[in-house]
Amino acid sequence: MVNGHADWPPAVAAGYDPGEVRSFLRRSGNGPRVDPGLEELRLEARRGRALVEESREIVVVLDEDDRVVTASRRARELLPGLAEGSPAPEALVENAPLTIPYEVDGRRETILYARDTGDMAAYEELRAGFTAAVSHELRTPLARVLALLETATLPGADADELIEQAQGEIDTIRELIDDILFISELESGHEVVGLGTTPALPILVEVAESLADQAARAGVTVEVDADEGAELPLRPRMIRVIVQNLAQNAVRYAGPGARLTLSAQHVEGGAELVAADNGVGIAQADLPRLFERFYRADRARASRGTGLGLAIVKHVVTSAGGTVEATGALGRGVRIRCFFPAGRRE
């Protein structure tokens, strides 16, 4: 007799894994019989436990006496002392934002979904700050539109000129809304950043040509200097978004007579995309905040930019596993480098 089963073959005693032997016997119709329905229930139970265990959320299953049946790994990490069979913390039971009661085999149980209070506080603070910033940024061009339209009604006013200026302000509002929606899509995951790699040179040339008129009016020369074989781990649209925002930032702020160079190349450890100008530059104190949403250096506050361009650049680059940094100084231009390490593929 082996492990209580006289009808098991000598294979077990010879060192074979009992589970494998049991599986063989079941398939061959010999050995101890297992009810297929019972086996299916066991499989479902293991599957359900794995789903709870590996969940990234704070998930706790309680019995009818509010004792822990099982909990996700994240729940155990954030709630010290949480153990199967122990009473659940009262605060968890009372404050869980989502509870799902159910019954299994006549026993009542409850699934609790909790929140990490630290994460939620940070999120609420970020959301409140972003909402206030958006409101402020929209209020300014709207006030300008109102002032221009009111001025257009005054005797002797050049109505056509004022209406044209008002249309320009409306374009600014539309651009701001488009940028906000784009960031929202990125953060929600609805907009995919990377799918394979894309040659960079054609897109750099395309963007430079599309901005030629705007650059000429600003007195900025745009050049492209990229390796033909340089590829970036991004979708074509995402490369275009990065290059457009970097180029527009330089065209707006570099100043007349500046030269902007857009480059892409393979470097040690990966690939880089660089936008460098030799314009008026930026104060050292402003560099660390350059990629913040709605942040503008003092000299740029009166510009028509949305203040989101470089924030979008950083979001796209980091979502693709890359890094972005800005260097420069007053009178020495600005250089923005986006680096993508080798081996990163979306």
pLDDT at position 287, please?
83
- Residue 147, judged by CB atoms within 10 A of its CB (0-12, 13-18, 19+), counts as middle
Same domain (yes/no): 87, 166: no
Give average pLDDT by consecutive 10-residue segment, the chain, 346 residues.
Answer: 46 49 51 62 74 76 87 79 83 79 83 65 52 64 84 87 84 71 60 71 92 92 90 85 89 92 91 93 83 60 60 84 90 92 62
**Residue span of the structural domain in which 24 resides:** 1-30
Q: Is residue 193 part of a domain?
A: no
Same domain (yes/no): 106, 39: yes
CB 308 within 8 A of CB 257: no
* Residue indicated by tokens 């968890």: 92
Same domain (yes/no): 103, 47: yes
CA dist., res. 237 & res. 185, Å (int): 14
CA dist., res. 166 & res. 142, Å (int): 9
pLDDT at position 130, please?
55
CA dist., res. 266 & res. 79, Å (int): 46
CB 222 within 8 A of CB 237: no
Same domain (yes/no): 99, 24: no
Same domain (yes/no): 277, 237: yes
String of DSSP letters for 161-202: HHHHHHHHHHHHHHHHHHHHHHHHHHHHT-S---SS-EESHH
Q: Is residue 168 part of a domain?
A: yes
Give the type of residue at 343: G
pLDDT at position 337, please?
94
For residue 156, what is the domain's CATH number? 1.10.287.130
Considering the entire predicted model, what is its pTM?
A: 0.51
